[in-house]
Amino acid sequence: MIPLGVRIAALSLLSLAAALPTAPIFFADRSAAAGLAFRTTYGGKDTSTYILETTGTGVAFLDYDRDGRPDLFFANGTTLAGFPTGQAPRCALYRNNGDGTFTDVTVAAGVARSGWGQGVAVGDYDNDGWPDVYLTFFGRNVLLRNKGDGTFADATEAAGVAAGGWSTSAAFADYDNDGRLDLYVARYVDFDLKTAPRPGAQKNCFYHGFPVMCGPRGLAGARDVLFRNNGDGTFTDVTVRAGELDRERYRGLGVVWGDYDDDGWPDLFVANDAHPNLLYHNDRNGTFTEVAFAAGVAFDEDGRERAGMGVDFGDYDNDGKLDLAVTNFYGEPHSLYLNQGHGTFLETTWPSGIGEATMRSLGWGTGFADFDNDGNKDLFFVNGHVYPEVDRQQLDETHAERSLVFRNKGDGSFADVTASAGETLASRWVGRGAAFGDYDDDGRIDVVISTVNDRAVLLHNESGGGNHWLTVKLTGTRGNRDAIGARITARAGAVTQMHEVHGGGSYLSQSDLRAHFGLGSLAVVPSLEIRWPGGAIERFTDVAADQTLAIDEGKGIVSRRGPTTAGAARPPR
């Protein structure tokens, strides 16, 4: 049976293509107003002795208490000198109060963890309906099982997912379509503080002639890990069995799952630092084949390996295929790859306008999201240098950098609209992680940024234009509860928008798992199709815009919620 959506009579069904007013993108820093007092501690402020002090931390949107409002989880780090007992910086969980503010519930939730924290992954690995959290560290990783009562329990040992070494981004997905979330953990460098070379010690320990922390070149990479969910609360390391993954131990930083060839099986992309990127094609039998070179995403168009950091899959040209964005080092552009179908990508970094505008940025978190709700996915890049020392050398580059936002012009190219996107984007931060989600349910995608040795930044999306939107929260019943891997397609006439619920993406972070569509002036979506993990299809027709739908697999729309005005939205511009 096809569930019925809301029908609204007498509305002209404008095509999505016709519904593309150019609404300005605008963000305001609401960190203080939202009560978000979190500060990251990570390595030395003015000097980085080791590469360990440069990678920073991530952030995640998750609805840990299932009240329908995205909460926030921040990873945190430490310093080489360390801290007295009980005073070490810790990660933090902030509960969304539903009125545009957050409350720190870290202690009450039992999630305070210290150490060289890195990434945050979110997924309901035990399918109990409550999102769990996986934290990566330089050191032992931590799996926090959500007990459903506002608290978490450490399930690391029981689950067997500590991994060790230096883990960075991690991401959940059900790669074998057995209904349980598996876990991929990228690892960076085989690093030992006792033996690591110091600034200036070797040829890879200089930048523009002055001594800096060594690496990543010259440092051995560490092998990533794929954990298969056994369905009993434990995982098995299948890195070798699944196709000798990361056999060459590339320095992994960014991870995202996505079905790039639309065959219903999640594939995996790993951004590596000064090593070729990896694209694992899911062979549908529990193994993967690495195809990045043939697919055209291993290198840049000159055959050079870039310093891959953050990554995201998204369909920016609305052709139903997942494209790819990757952030890179200063002096390299951030990369954009257009999915051509047939398993190949075309690098569109330069023709899209992304290249020229990002050459002088060192990028980390990134995401495709339709910030102005015009029907085309825009791009956001969080930037920040790795060498604090550049500020003392009076170079053209600086340690803190501006984040950049690009508006999708709908013709395959992007316009850098950072300068007009609000005074707050003129600020410079040493940015690292970034997560995207509509925290105040006003229908506009917000951004939260984690920084190095600075406060977290909550960018409230106050874009004008009055465009319509639709948010969809999926819950799996036969497949994984988070519906990670589900594909939602909105159609109006010949125009299609596609969103895949994906684990990972950005850098060390997890964005809101709810799907968001910008609809321009379209008040009704004529056709909404969901392909659930495992292949089941559900279709909805004439779905009204400007609401958040909750859809359960096989049960149709189970709840609807209109927009709130909690975020103190500005008048339209």
Q: Which residues bind other proteins (CB under 8 A)?
A: 190, 208-210, 219-221, 244, 247-249, 293, 296, 299, 301-305, 350-351, 355-356, 359-360, 390, 393-397
362 or 459: CB nearest other proteins: 362
Residue placing its CB nearer to other proteins in the complex, 183 or 274: 274
**H/E element, 108:** helix 106-109
Nearer to other proteins, 395 or 523 (CB): 395
Please say which residue, 39 or 360, places its beta carbon nearer to other proteins: 360
CB of 441 to other proteins, least distance (A): 38
- Please report, to the nearest 10 degrees, the dihedral formed by the alpha carbons of residues 321, 327, 328, 331 taken in order: 100
From residue 11, give the alpha-carbon distance in Å to each of 28, 81, 492.
34, 64, 13
Q: Residue for token digits 């330069």?
A: 350
By beta-carbon proximity to other proteins, the closer residue of 122 and 212 is 212
CA distances from 102 to 40, 97, 445, 446 (A): 17, 5, 17, 14
Taking the complex as a whole, the smallest distance from the CB of residue 188 to other proteins amounts, in Å, to: 13
| 479-505 burial: b if 16+ Cβ within 10 Å, else e | bbbbbbbbbbbbbbeebbbbbbbbbbb
Ramachandran angles phi, psi of 420, nearest 5°: -100, 5
Question: Tokens 């926030």 sit at which residue?
Answer: 72
CA–CA distances in Å: residue 443 to residues 41, 106, 128, 316, 547: 32, 28, 28, 19, 8
Structure tokens at 556: 């149709």
Q: Mapping DSSP to helix (H, G, I), strand (E, B) and coil, where does residue 24 land?
A: coil
CB closer to other proteins, 393 vs 559: 393
Comparison of 255 and 298: residue with beta carbon closer to other proteins: 298
The residue among 145, 54, 111 whose CA lies nearest residue 386 is 54
Least Å distance, CB 551 to other proteins, is 41
How near is the Cβ of 208 to other proteins at its closest, in Å? 4
Residue pair 540/526 in contact by the 8 Å Cβ criterion: no
Strand order of the β-sheet with 132-138 is: 116-123, 132-138, 142-146, 152-154
Q: Which H or E run contains 467?
A: none
Those residues with Cβ within 8 angstroms of residue 181's Cβ, 6 or more apart along the chain or in another chain: 123, 124, 125, 127, 172, 173, 174, 229, 480, 482, 484, 503
Residue (68 or 293) nearer to other proteins, CB: 293
Cβ proximity to other proteins: between 80 and 220 the closer is: 220
- Tell me whether residue 296 or residue 437 sits nearer to other proteins (CB atom): 296
Round to whole Å and give the CA distance between 94 and 97. Answer: 9
Task: Tell me the closest approach of the beta carbon of residue 300 to other proteins, in angstroms.
Answer: 9
Nearest distance, CB of residue 474 and other proteins, angstroms: 38
CB of 239 to other proteins, least distance (A): 15
Q: Which residues of 326-353 are buried (b: 16+ CB within 10 A; e: fewer)?
A: bbbbbebbbbbbbbeeeeebebbbeebb
Q: What CA–CA distance (Å, rounded) separates 257 from 13?
A: 34
Minimum gap (Å) between residue 344 Cβ and other proteins: 9
Nearer to other proteins, 78 or 361 (CB): 361
d(CA 294, CA 443): 39
Q: Smallest distance, Å, CB 207 to other proteins?
A: 8
Q: Least Å distance between CB 304 and other proteins?
A: 7
- Nearest approach, Cβ of 294 to other proteins (angstroms)? 8
